[in-house]
Chains A and B, each alone.
Chain A
Amino acid sequence: MDSDLEDFVFYGTPIEREEDSTSRKKKAIAESAGQLRTLPAWKQEVRDDEGRRRFHGAFTGGFSAGYYNTVGSKEGWAPQTFKSSRKSRAEFKEQSILNFLDEDEKADLEGQFLGTSSQFDTFGFTAAEIARNQAEKEQKQRPSVIPGPAPDELVIPATESIGVKLLLKMGWSRGRSIKDSHADSLYDARRQARRAFLAFSSNDTKVKVSESEPTQDDNENFPEQPVDDNVQSSKSTPVYVLNPKQDLYGLGFDPYKHAPEFREKKRSRLSSKTGSGHSKNFSTRDSLFGFKSGKAAPGFGIGALEELDAEDEDVYATGYEFEETYVQEEVEEPAKLTLENQKKKDQKDKDNLPGFRVASNSDYKMERFEAPRIPKDFVPRHAFSGPLEINRQNYEVPPSDVPPPEDSNLKLLIEGVANLVAKCGKLYEDLSREKNRSNPLFNFLSGGTGHDYYARKLWEAQQKSNDQTRVQLDGKMPPCVQKLTAESRGQILGEKPLQKTSEPSSSVSSTDIQLQYNLIDTFTKSASFSDLSEFEKPFKADPAKQERFEQFIKEKYKGGLRSGSSSLAGNMSEDARAQERLSFEAAAEAIEKRKQGRGSKLSIPSSTDFITGGVMEFTTGAVEPTKDQPDVDFKGKKMYPKREEFQWRPSPLLCKRFDLIDPYMGKPAPAPRIRSKIDSLIFTSDSVKGTKVEEHMIAMKDISPLQQSANKDINKSMAENETEEEVKVEVENVERPVDLYKAIFSDDSDDEGEDPYIKKVENQEKKAEVANTALSRLIAGDFLESLGKELGVEVPPDTPYPTQKSGKDATNANEYAKPDTSNGENNSVVSLKHDLSHDQHIAHEGGHSKGDISYGNKLEIHSIKTKGTSISDNKSSKSNGEKSEDDRKVKSPLVSNQGYISSSEDERSRKRTSKYNREKYEYRKTKTPSTDRLDYRSSSLSEDERSRKRSRHHRHRRRDTGSDSSSDDERDRHNSRSKGRRREKSSREKSSGSKKHSKHHKHRKHESPSRSSHYSMEKDDAHSRKEKRRRE
């Protein structure tokens, strides 16, 4: 604009005015003088003497309103259309004259409004006005979080009107209504009418109810009148409680809406912070009112058109307002002074007139004392200078046995001190050493004479105390204890007590790493008893009884679920069983004692004496075994029902659909269910199955000795015929798959299952054969690999230790140490445990215990050396070497039988394992119509053929399940070993693929002796090894 000024011509002399107005003036002059004339009409504007535009809109006249005499704006004419949506409602602005006034005009108007002075402001309008102005001003100064002008409801006049003042003077108090008789009468009339109506509409009883209800409000009831007034007033005249908004909640949001106690608490906390008695006082009043006003709020059930009056409220009121106010006051005190509170409350209850309340700040004050000052260097935890418990790890290797010193006094002293130290801990040792430093008698403590003996004694004492504690733990649980102690509960739940074993070799690692999913782990006996039965056979004379005893021992130390009825002793009479049980108990105790004695070698002779005596004693109990030979019927009946428990993994989706939490959540992937797939893949001849089942059923019925059938003989002969028949059919049916198996597995089985000794011998003649089969094996290997991939076979367990290999074999060996690996639970446990724990100690053990631990592998490797060139051996060696990785995949057949850690599928493992109750196993197998085809087939083959077949069959199954129990391995090995002896014959048979259908039906059981001899051999082996380890 200033630049425009040069163009203009000025007339006259400008009159000097204030500095700020000069420019405007100039402009105005210019416009008025020159421009106005030059500009077109629509551009001319009316200005005042100071150059300001005077007329706006309509004032500029007619059409020239708007943008430069047009309508609309610079952008064009945009009519203000009506817009209203659900989200943005049309705005209705309330207009007042002030909206259309300029600031100066407003300033002019200021003070010219008529208003009541605050002195006569009866209705508080002026005060409200002032307050609003004030609020606006304040808002301008510091804009609040909430945008927009402060709502009027928030701005409340601060002064009291003269009317209020007058009323107050007249005795009216805040919160009361100004009640007139007219209202009451009106109310009465209405109530009467209602009552009449009710009486009309319903029967009498109801009327009575309704009559009794409003008595509170009756005018005649004067004592209650004030209460009513109080209640009524709460809404008749609004009582504004000046309650500054101090929180950060939204407007109108009351977090304590349904829990007013908390509000009080908070407030009291706040007020106690500020510490003023006034605020406390204030809060009580507030709460009182707040409570009251809240009373009217829940108005449901009251007609919308009906006035909210006293009667309506009473419908839902409890009618005991005073009590509630007490509660409020009580809560207001901080909660920690409960005692004080109690006292107060009592007082209140006693002598508080209605309408009065106890002074909030009484004279009585609790006396408080300062907390004692803590010295700066105080450490809140006391640490003993020495470890309280002697580190047991130190004594992993017990100190050597030393002859006691000649001085008997010294010996006594040493023993006493050792006992004390063992009992009281290392601290005692330290203390006594400190105290008796000068005393030459105590030299042994600090390495003087007799120190070795002391160390030995100390160790012994510790062992003793440990054993005692453990015995307390273990021995406390006789099978029929009624009382459920923490230990027993833990045992039932499968928790493992913290072991304090004297031989920390295996237990340490096993307790350290404990996965949850092998809970059954904990069902095994504590490690100290694991090897008990191998050297302890008090009932050697009577195998049946011995078996029962073992069962008993197992159950005793196993904890966990008892297998209900002892199936073994099912035929015994009640008292005979009880007697036997007693003898078993005693024997077990004796064994235990002997074990302790073993811990401290000094007491061995006596304890063995005891044992022998004990055995004598026990064998007297072996009178009844005459009854032991069970007649099949009885036993068969008693056996059922039989409960077994296995692990089972529900799929996550199933859990989800059942709305349950997956118990295996986060656990490694389950063993893939390949079985079914492979079954359908390989047993393509499934359709034949249907017709076979009945035959199977019958056949198996007479095979299993346990099963009782009424017409045994007929059945038997029938079954014989049928089985024969069926065997033929089966053979035809299954022939192909078996051949496939052969193509895939045959040589592997040879490689793997072969006892190396024999292998060596046979190597020469075998070479040609091997060379022939090598090619097919390679192909088979590839095939399997791809198969495995296709099926997504993965093996669950992680094998982090590179020493896995030796560990595996050792575990296999250890397997024999177990007294009974009959059921699947045990088996899987064992293998799992081995996987976790045994690796370590076996790894270091591998050093001194030579061939027998890792004989499987070492010898295998050895044999490889002798073999040299054959491809198969390369392969096997490779697989052996890379076992740690290969273990995880079921890729190659060689690896697959090296022992997978059995995972969840106990059922499978149960089926597979149990060399001890092979009977059962056979029985089971015969029961299944489809899976036992191989068995049936094998039963028709020659014995050695069959044993090999079985091993193969097992392997196949194992592959199927993707899990494995090492014991199975071992059996395979045995099988193949025994087979190996007869190999010259059998290999030929096999290679020619001949199927001899000789009937070996009955023969089945006869083969067991040879095998069992193997077992016993193995057992001895393992036993001796165990012994060795213990001695070390």
Chain B
Amino acid sequence: MSAEDLPQKEVNVLKGHEGGVLAARFNADGNYCLSCGKDRTIRLWNPHRGIHIKTYKSHGREVRDVHVTSDNSKLCSCGGDRQIFYWDVATGRVIRKFRGHDGEVNGVKFNEYSSVIVSAGYDQSLRAWDCRSHSTEPIQIIDTFADSVMSVCLTKTEIIGGSVDGTVRTFDIRIGREISDSLGQPVNCISMSNDGNCVLAGCLDSTVRLLDRSTGELLQEYRGHTNKSYKLDCCLTNTDAHVAGGSEDGFVYFWDLVDASVVSKFRAHSSVVTSVSYHPKENCMLTSSVDGTIRVWKT
């Protein structure tokens, strides 16, 4: 994929959030997207047609992260109210609320079977919540982090968390090991490569780092953007050929995965780009910003 194929053409602007949008995420098949923001709502969109479908209101404070199951039936969200909400997509009702984090919750993810929600909290812990039973107690609390956990990723067998203490910790359930990769810089956001072999870690020193998961090796560092105080997302493109990331100056950057050169950068928003999300199959990208818009980009 060459640089021309990168999504740089604005297709749709999704407006509706009042206040900043903190995260925008494609669903599993990329047909819909979810966004959440400071207006305490979660919104469901069709980004390809630019239609707002539904609004989910229940959070008491800003919503920081949202994730949808692979069958599109359930949502989970978290935010400043220290709770994790488990939603039914169709009815828009909250099925369950999980309380237990002692601080704001920065990230949530479903596991593969949508049976567990893993949340990353400011209280330096990862917590796993059971969606199957009616228990609202966490199944497991992982509190080996030394600082706020900013982001969480799940594979079939592992829980990966990135923390401000500078570590990316992989908890392998199969063998019962914790592997801690210390980067030395606060980790803002982690995201998995599509082949599952690498982890992209956005650090607060305006650097995105690519780690090899099996060895813990630092494969590449991507610089050029500014990321010093906001929680910004970064992700790999669907082909794993480029790294996409937002910047605090409203730009979106594309780096070449291998040689870390800035392939492309363009001004996407007037303010901080909080989140970037790449379509799982097509060349399509979502960006969200503090300016309250979500933009859909295609080639």
Contact = CB atoms under 8 A, between A and B. Distances in A.
A640 interface: yes
B16 interface: no
B56 interface: no
Contacts of A707: 184
Contacts of A693: 147-148
B102 A686 contact: yes
Interface of B is mostly: loop
A471 interface: no
B217 A650 contact: no
Contacts of A651: 128, 139-140
Interface stretch (A59-67, A143-151, A243-251, A922-930): A922-930
B21 to A, nearest CB: 23
> How extensive is the interface on chain B, given as a class?
35 or more
Nearest to B229: A694
Given A639-B184, A643-B216, A657-B130, A927 B177 contact: no
B178 A643 contact: no
A858 B182 CA distance: 43
A928 B179 contact: no
Contact of A641 (B115, B139, B147, B211): B211
A648 interface: yes
Given A640-B183, A641-B182, A641-B183, A564 B215 contact: yes
Contacts of A640: 166, 182-185, 218
Residue of B102, B156, B164, B178 contacting most chain A CB atoms (<10 Å): B178
A648 B142 contact: yes
Interface string A649-675: 111011101111101100000000101
B143 A644 contact: no
B227 interface: no
B146 A928 contact: yes
B176 A649 contact: yes
Contact of B139 (A648, A657, A690): A657
A654 B158 CA distance: 11
A644 B182 contact: yes
Nearest to B165: A927
Contacts of B115: 657-658
B183 A664 contact: no
A645 B178 contact: yes
A931 interface: yes
A647 interface: yes
B144 interface: yes
A907 B171 CA distance: 13
B125 A646 contact: no
B124 interface: yes
Nearest to B156: A658
B166 to A, nearest CB: 7
A998 interface: no
Interface in B147-187: 147-148, 156-157, 164-166, 171-186
Contact of A647 (B111, B174, B177, B183): B177
Nearest to A676: B143
Contacts of B157: 658, 660
Nearest to A925: B146
B175 A663 contact: yes
B160 to A, nearest CB: 13
Interface string B94-113: 00000000110000000111
B122 to A, nearest CB: 8
A911 to B, nearest CB: 8
A23 interface: no
Contact of B182 (A642, A649, A654): A642
A117 interface: no
A68 B142 CA distance: 88
A517 B175 CA distance: 10
A689 B183 CA distance: 24
A636 B183 CA distance: 10
A680 interface: yes
A924 B183 CA distance: 13
Contacts of B180: 643-646, 907
Given A655-B173, A660-B157, A930-B124, A646 B178 contact: yes
A646 B182 contact: no
Contacts of B116: 654, 657-658
Interface string B26-55: 000000000000000000000000000000
Residue of A645, A654, A673, A905 contacting most chain B CB atoms (<10 Å): A654
Interface in A929-946: 929-931
Interface string A614-653: 0000000000000000000000100111111111111101
B161 to A, nearest CB: 12
A689 B140 CA distance: 24
B134 interface: no
A648 B146 contact: no
A657 B113 contact: yes
B82 to A, nearest CB: 12
A663 B178 CA distance: 13
A759 to B, nearest CB: 36
B17 interface: no
Contact of A564 (B164, B177, B217): B217
Nearest to A651: B140
B185 to A, nearest CB: 8
Interface in A506-528: 517
A707 B217 CA distance: 20
A649 B174 CA distance: 10
B167 to A, nearest CB: 9
B155 to A, nearest CB: 10
A642 B217 CA distance: 8
Residue of B156, B181, B184, B185 contacting most chain A CB atoms (<10 Å): B184
Given A673-B143, A927-B147, A927-B165, A645 B183 contact: no
Given A648-B144, A650-B171, A927-B146, A641 B178 contact: no
B141 to A, nearest CB: 6
A676 B177 contact: no
B156 A641 contact: no
Given A924-B146, A927-B147, A643 B176 contact: no
Interface string B208-225: 010100011110000000
A647 B217 contact: no
Nearest to A707: B184
A908 B174 CA distance: 21
Contacts of A906: 178
Contacts of A649: 176
B179 A927 contact: no
Nearest to B176: A663
A928 B211 contact: no
Contacts of B171: 648, 650
A649 B128 CA distance: 13
B217 A641 contact: yes
Nearest to A646: B178
Nearest to A683: B102
A641 B184 contact: yes
Contacts of A907: 144, 178, 180
B140 to A, nearest CB: 4
B209 A641 contact: yes
17 contacts: A640-B182, A641-B211, A644-B180, A645-B178, A648-B171, A649-B176, A650-B171, A651-B128, A653-B139, A658-B157, A661-B174, A663-B173, A686-B102, A689-B103, A927-B146, A927-B166, A928-B146
Given A641-B218, A927-B165, 12 more contacts: A646-B178, A648-B144, A649-B176, A651-B139, A651-B140, A653-B130, A654-B128, A654-B139, A664-B176, A673-B143, A697-B186, A927-B147
Interface of B: 102-103, 111-113, 115-116, 124-125, 128, 130, 132, 139-144, 146-148, 156-157, 164-166, 171-186, 209, 211, 215-218
The 8 closest A-B pairs by CB, nearest first: A643-B216, A648-B178, A640-B184, A663-B176, A928-B146, A907-B144, A651-B140, A642-B182
Interface of A: 517, 564, 636, 639-651, 653-655, 657-661, 663-664, 673, 675-676, 680, 686, 689-690, 693, 697, 707, 905-908, 924, 927-931
